[in-house]
């Protein structure tokens, strides 16, 4: 089953099958040692840059900043949800630690 | 690979979107196929309809483009009436009520909570009265801005209105220019006060003199590639071209065609012409315009009047268009303050009555979100100024009211990070009650944008506020970055972001302390901008001392995680959207 993944409204949100799923202004805890000096960056999403799926995991590249230290930029791919049978399931993005993948 | 947006645009775009829009309106929200929603919402923007944010599905913002902010007699009333009839939804704003119109920083009008099903009737009413939403959003020529008093302003050196009118008529609905890589924002001004704000537009035509066949002729210098969005602010760059009024359509059309052909369609973030100017430099823009897009010899730039610019410049002279001013014909125009640009529909209608009683019925919108009533003869002026409505929409408000500009924010906007308009109203009211401006300072601009798109033009204010988040006592709260010292004028300058992530309830205290420090440490006669200029960022950060005060902010929580920030039950799934034409919820499986 094909899934359409796209970023719309100038990076405001991720569309999965024409429904709005991930939005700027979310606050994520990242496991991203390379991003800033913080243990687990406290990261606010300001812009979604791209979205893709790797197997069942939907990941996004976003621009934003760590609100603890102020570092700005783009961590690697951040998992934002899962697919099963073409349906998107949220993960509790604002309550778990999200492991960042650093390949491009 | 072209983006999805480019693919959709290549399939259906421009005028033809209208028939589809009307078909969906006829058949109802559910008629839009599930897997075509993204495509249609992207396209609807071209006809001025912007789908509201998450939690408000099936409701649209409608933008009406009023070229040069010019409302002919009766049009202001129509705006009030359609706002009253169509711009109501399930949410009530605690400050502005149920139906209101927003006057924007690009001299347009925005209505919210519009239902697709109402669009044909709404368009019919607008168009029957000479108003239109065509190209108000989307990738094409947007509403043309300028000095809204063009033609009447005693301070102008050339009447820009005929030029704006011609450009608007030529490039609205023009198939050759309807599908550009990105938005195309144009400013045309003929007054010497800088009120066109050309520097922050994709294309700026600014008044300038040129010796033509031995005669000093008034026309326009051309600048290209301004814009504020995404931490990539640029002032428009001088491409060394002067154009006579009768050639403006050829040159402006040449530039938008150049943008159409050479702008980046692969990456929307790199698409605005400001990036092409970065890449090519102004010389190559000029050369390409000359060799490929115009068939006459371009003149080099003429003598501009930028040294007379005062609008939004932070010094002496006209920083805005509020108050009473003389027109060329001896009548007066009166600029009225509309705090954060929002006006209740009943007030709009009442103001239309006043415009008719005292003026010609016409009205004008400014780039500082205010409204002007023109054509008031001297003998009626005092009575007009004594009208009750002007207590609220004052020609001479507190500097903190007068200087406030705010964007849409989390109330309706997908990109937002924080609540904006209502917050700016609370800020302005608190500052008015609690803070004195240093003596001699009578203009002080504070602009609040909910994100880096910068719709409120924060970078050109004395104090720039931009939506962010932080933690306070461990909890996430809405916050603002604070920038200082921005403004236009002969030498425009973007604000410098000196203090980051200040919890919103500490921002009024920060501004109060900053102003006290400025009063203390400034030199005799020094403007705020000059004061900022001679300090480095660290010194400035010291002068901004965030502090809790008597100001209380009821919207500290994540207002984006609500279906509507002001609802009693505000959680994302408590809202009724999407709804049918009559507002009843459509439950899935229907
Ligand atoms: C639903 C609400 C809105 C949304 C989603 C929205 C979206 C955007 C976006 C995405 C940008 C960045 C443009 C770019 O990258 O080229 C932008 C910039 C801008 N918008 Fe809005 N906007 C909204 C409301 C407004 C309002 C109320 C105004 C006033 C007319 C406005 C005027 C502007 C201006 C002046 C800029 C920045 C300057 C520039 O880059 O040219 N927008 N807006
Ligand atoms: S500045 Fe950001 S939050 Fe404000 S209206 Fe523009 S896009 Fe929305
Ligand atoms: Zn950090």
Q: Is the pLDDT of residue B427 over 70?
A: yes
pLDDT of residue B439: 87
SS3 content of chain A, % helix, strand, coil (to 5): 0, 55, 45
ipTM of predicted assembly, 2 dp:
0.95
Question: What dotted CATH number matches B161-308?
Answer: 3.30.413.10
Q: Is A18 in the pocket of ligand 1 (CB under 6 A)?
A: no
Beta-strand relationship, B203-212 and B186-188: parallel
Confidence band for B197, pLDDT divided at 50, 70 and 90? very high
What tens digit of pLDDT does each residue of B369-408 get?
999 999 999 999 999 999 999 999 999 999 999 999 999 9
B325-389 and B401-557, same CATH topology: no
CATH topology of domain B4-128: Sulfite Reductase Hemoprotein; domain 2 (3.90.480)
Query: Quick one: which of B111, B70, B96, B99 has its CA closest to B392?
Result: B96
Cα B316 to ligand 2 centroid, rounded to whole Å: 30
pLDDT of residue B1: 64
User: What residue ranges do the domains of chain A occupy?
Assistant: 5-99
pLDDT of residue A1: 59
pLDDT of residue B590: 46
From chain B, pick out residues whose CB is under 8 angstroms from the CB of A1: none
Residue B201 Cα: closest atom of ligand 1:
41
Q: Do A70 and B500 touch (CB under 8 A)?
A: yes
Question: What dotted CATH number matches B401-557?
Answer: 3.30.413.10
pLDDT of residue B382: 98
Integer angstrom CA distances of residue B88 from B41, B83, B345, B542: 20, 8, 10, 45
Calculate the average pLDDT of chain B. 96
On whether the CB atoms of residues B239 and B282 are closer than 8 A, the answer is: yes
Q: Is B413 in the pocket of ligand 1 (CB under 6 A)?
A: yes
Q: Is the pLDDT of residue B527 over 70?
A: yes
What tens digit of pLDDT does each residue of B555-573 get?
999 999 999 999 999 999 9
Beta-strand relationship, A57-66 and A42-54: antiparallel
Q: Is the pLDDT of residue B83 over 90?
A: yes
What tens digit of pLDDT does each residue of B244-287 get?
999 999 999 999 999 999 999 999 999 999 999 999 999 999 99
Q: Is the pLDDT of residue B589 over 60?
A: no
pLDDT of residue A104: 55
Q: Is the pLDDT of residue B442 over 90?
A: no
List Cβ neighbours of B508 (8 Å cut-off, separation of 6 or more). Answer: B427, B430, B431, B434, B549, B551
Interface of B with A in 448-487 (CB under 8 A): 451-453, 468-471, 476, 479
A91 touches B at CB < 8 Å: no
Query: Quick one: which of B80, B60, B84, B59 has its CA closest to B71?
Result: B80
Q: Is the pLDDT of residue B426 over 80?
A: yes
Which architecture, in CATH terms, is B325-389?
2-Layer Sandwich (3.30)
What tens digit of pLDDT does each residue of A29-69 get?
999 999 999 999 999 999 999 999 988 999 999 999 999 99
SS3 A35: coil
pLDDT of residue B187: 98
User: What residue ranges do the domains of chain B occupy?
Assistant: 4-128, 161-308, 325-389, 401-557
A9 touches B at CB < 8 Å: yes
Strand partners, A83: A88
pLDDT of residue B436: 92
Q: Over pLDDT 90: what percentage of chain B?
A: 96
A13 touches B at CB < 8 Å: yes
Residue carrying structure tokens 């035509």: B205
Interface of B with A in 215-254 (CB under 8 A): 230
List Cβ neighbours of B564 (8 Å cut-off, separation of 6 or more). Answer: B55, B56, B90, B91, B411, B570, B575
pLDDT of residue B3: 86
Give the pair of three-digit tokens for residue B8.
């959709």
- Judged on CB neighbours under 10 Å (0-12, 13-18, 19+), B308 is middle
pTM to 2 decimal places = 0.95
pLDDT of residue A63: 96
List Cβ neighbours of B502 (8 Å cut-off, separation of 6 or more). Answer: B470, B479, B480, B481, B482, B510, B544, B546
Q: Is the pLDDT of residue A102 over 70?
A: yes
């Amino acid at each position: 089953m094909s899934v359409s993944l796209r970023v719309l409204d100038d990076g405001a949100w991720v569309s999965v099958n024409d429904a709005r799923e991930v939005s700027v202004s979310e606050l994520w805890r990242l496991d991203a040692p390379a991003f800033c000096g913080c243990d687990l960056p406290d990261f606010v999403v300001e812009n979604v840059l791209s979205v893709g799926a790797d197997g069942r995991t939907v990941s996004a590249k976003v621009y934003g900043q760590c609100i603890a230290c102020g570092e700005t930029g783009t961590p690697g791919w951040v998992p934002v949800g899962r697919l099963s049978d073409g349906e998107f399931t949220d993960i509790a993005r604002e309550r778990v630690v999200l492991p960042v993948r650093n390949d491009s | 690979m072209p983006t999805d947006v480019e693919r959709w645009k290549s399939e259906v775009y421009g005028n033809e979107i209208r028939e589809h829009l009307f078909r969906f309106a006829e058949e109802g929200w559910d008629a839009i196929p599930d897997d075509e929603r993204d495509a249609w919402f992207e396209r609807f923007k071209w006809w001025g309809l912007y789908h509201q944010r998450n939690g408000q599905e099936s409701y649209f913002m409608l933008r009406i483009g009023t070229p040069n902010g010019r409302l002919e007699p009766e049009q202001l009333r129509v705006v009030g009436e359609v706002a009253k009839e169509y711009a109501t939804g399930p949410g009530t704003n605690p400050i502005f009520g149920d139906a209101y119109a927003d006057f924007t920083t690009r001299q347009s009008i925005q209505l919210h909570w519009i239902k697709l099903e109402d669009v044909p009737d709404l368009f019919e009413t607008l168009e029957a009265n000479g108003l239109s939403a065509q190209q108000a959003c989307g990738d094409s020529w947007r509403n043309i801005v300028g000095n809204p008093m063009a033609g009447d302003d005693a301070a102008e050196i050339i009447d820009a209105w005929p030029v704006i009118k011609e450009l608007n008529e030529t490039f609205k609905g023009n198939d050759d220019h309807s599908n550009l890589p990105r938005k195309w924002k144009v400013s045309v001004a003929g007054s010497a006060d800088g009120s066109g704000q050309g520097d922050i537009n994709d294309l700026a035509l600014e008044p300038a003199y040129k010796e033509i066949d031995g005669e000093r002729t008034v026309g326009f210098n051309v600048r290209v590639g301004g814009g504020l969005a995404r931490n990539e602010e640029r002032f428009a760059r001088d491409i060394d071209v002067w154009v006579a009024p009768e050639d403006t359509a050829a040159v402006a059309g040449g530039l938008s065609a150049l943008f159409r052909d050479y702008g980046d369609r692969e990456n929307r973030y790199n698409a605005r012409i400001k990036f092409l100017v970065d890449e090519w430099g102004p010389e190559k823009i000029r050369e390409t315009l000359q060799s490929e897009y115009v068939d006459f010899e371009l003149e080099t730039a003429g003598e501009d009047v930028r040294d007379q610019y005062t609008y939004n410049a932070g010094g002496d002279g006209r920083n805005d268009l509020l108050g009473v001013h003389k027109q060329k014909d001896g009548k007066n125009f009166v600029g009225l303050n509309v705090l954060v640009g929002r006006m209740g529909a009943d007030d709009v209608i009442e103001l239309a009555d006043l415009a008719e009683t005292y003026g010609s019925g016409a009205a004008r919108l400014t780039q500082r979100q205010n409204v002007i009533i023109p054509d008031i003869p001297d003998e009626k002026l005092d009575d007009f100024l004594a009208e009750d409505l002007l207590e609220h929409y004052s020609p001479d408000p507190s500097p903190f009211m007068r200087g406030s500009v705010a964007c849409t924010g989390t109330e309706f906007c997908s990109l937002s990070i924080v609540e904006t308009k209502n917050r700016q109203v609370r800020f302005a009211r608190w500052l008015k009650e609690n803070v004195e401006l240093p003596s001699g300072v009578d203009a002080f601009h504070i602009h609040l944008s909910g994100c880096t798109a910068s719709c409120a033009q924060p970078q050109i204010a004395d104090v720039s506020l931009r939506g962010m988040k932080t933690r306070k006592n461990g909890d996430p709260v809405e916050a603002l970055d604070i920038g200082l010292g921005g403004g236009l004028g002969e030498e425009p300058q973007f604000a410098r972001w000196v203090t980051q992530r200040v919890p919103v309830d500490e921002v009024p205290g920060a501004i109060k302390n900053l102003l006290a420090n400025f009063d203390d440490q400034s030199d005799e006669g020094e403007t705020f901008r000059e004061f900022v200029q001679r300090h480095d960022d660290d010194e400035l950060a010291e002068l901004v001392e965030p502090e809790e005060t008597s100001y209380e902010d009821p919207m500290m929580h994540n207002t984006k995680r609500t279906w509507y920030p002001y609802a009693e039950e505000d959680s994302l799934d408590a809202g009724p959207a999407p709804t049918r034409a009559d507002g009843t919820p459509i439950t899935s499986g229907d």
